[in-house]
Amino acid sequence: MSNELSTIDFTKSTDGLVPAVIQDANTSVVLMLGYMNREAFEKTQAEGKVTFFSRSKQRLWTKGETSDNFLYVKEVLADCDGDTILIKALPAGPTCHTGDDTCFGEKNNRNTRIGEAAFLNYLQKDIIRDRKLHPSDSSYTTSLFKSGINKIAQKVGEEAVEVVIEAKDNDEGLFKNEVSDLLFHLLVLLEQKNIDLDEVISVLRSRHS
């Protein structure tokens, strides 16, 4: 547990609960508010799925345990007073039990492009990662993960060669398509190695600071 998270004080309330705000890691839309005791917080960190303490059921409750609409944890933060938790997560489906995207009735358009380059983050974290966590026999991406790291790396190499070949010609459309294929397979490779695109961007940024 980081020093920041170790400051969370579960003793401030008589019931040992602290509010936990859940925010979409990609769109920053607030999805819901729940409550955690220490056990729920530790389970959330250990399993990577948001778990609350249900005040109505008086037990631990993992969001999605009956609907499969889990909230996959990406980042956990504590506020300055140590009595509120912010969890940035990737929702596997609608967050609200009513079927709405959020418990506040807001739309959470996870395919919204906040600048074209931001779509790469969405592609890795929402689409490619979902195929890894929830395999589908009809998914090409799933088949790549099943084939293993060597096959994925080989595909990246093949697509890179195609990019070089098309770069020497004057068909801009074909060149863009090949670059798109290369970027996609590179994102799959990153996901297979559990590396976020953000981490690679941080390396690039450090070289120009």
| Same domain, yes or no: 145 and 192 | yes
Element (H, E) at 107: none
DSSP letter for 116, please. T
DSSP helix/strand/coil, 75: strand
Buried b (16+ CB within 10 A) or exposed e, 157-178: eebbebbeebeeeeeeeebeeb
Helix (H, G, I), strand (E, B) or coil at 77: strand
Structural domain tally of the chain? 2
Query: Do residues 79 and 151 share a domain?
Result: no
Q: Verify that 144 and 85 share a domain, yes or no.
A: no
| HSE (side-chain half, CA atoms, 13 Å) at 170 | 0
170 in a structural domain: yes
DSSP state at residue 99: S
Residues 24, 72, single domain; the answer is yes
Query: What does each of the 209 residues of the chain score in pLDDT, given as a tens digit?
Result: 444 567 899 998 889 999 999 999 878 899 999 999 999 999 999 999 999 999 999 999 999 999 989 999 999 999 999 999 999 998 988 999 999 999 999 988 765 544 456 678 888 888 899 999 999 999 999 999 999 999 999 999 999 999 999 999 999 999 999 999 999 999 999 999 999 988 898 888 788 76
Q: What is the DSSP string of 5-72?
A: GGG--TTSSTT--EEEEEEETTT--EEEEEEE-HHHHHHHHHHSB-EEEETTTTEEEETTTTT---EE
Compute the distance between CA of residue 45 and CA of residue 74 in angstroms, rounded to an integer.
Answer: 10
In a domain, 113, yes or no: no
Task: Examine residue 104 and state whether it is found in any structural domain, yes or no.
Answer: no
Domain contains 103: no
Per the structure, the complete domain to which residue 18 belongs is given by: 5-91
CATH number of residue 170's parent domain: 1.10.287.1080
Q: Domain check: are 131 and 188 in the same one? A: yes
Nearest to residue 92, comparing CAs of 54, 123, 131, 60?
A: 131
Stated pTM of the model = 0.57
Q: 87 with 128, same domain? A: no
Based on the fold, state whether residues 141 and 186 are members of the same structural domain: yes
* Backbone phi and psi for residue 105, each to the nearest 5 degrees, phi listed first: 75, 10
Residues 75 and 126 in one domain: no
What Å distances lie between residue 5 and 76, 78, 87, 108, 176, CA to CA? 8, 6, 11, 28, 44
Q: Any idea what the CATH number is for the domain that residue 20 is in?
A: 3.10.20.810
Residue 30 domain-assigned (yes or no):
yes
At which of 91, 107, 127 does a domain end?
A: 91
Paired residues of 85 in beta bridges: 20, 78
Whether 166 is in a domain gets the answer yes
Nearest to 19 by CA among 102, 77, 96, 100: 77
Residue 101 domain-assigned? no
Same domain membership, residue 63 and residue 10:
yes
Q: Is 90 helix (H, G, I), strand (E, B) or coil?
A: strand
Burial classification of residue 191, based on how many CB atoms lie within 10 Å of its CB (0-12 exposed, 13-18 middle, 19 or more buried) = buried
Q: What pLDDT score does 114 carry?
A: 45
111: in domain: no
202 and 156 in a single domain? The answer is yes
| Domain identity same for 123 and 197 | yes
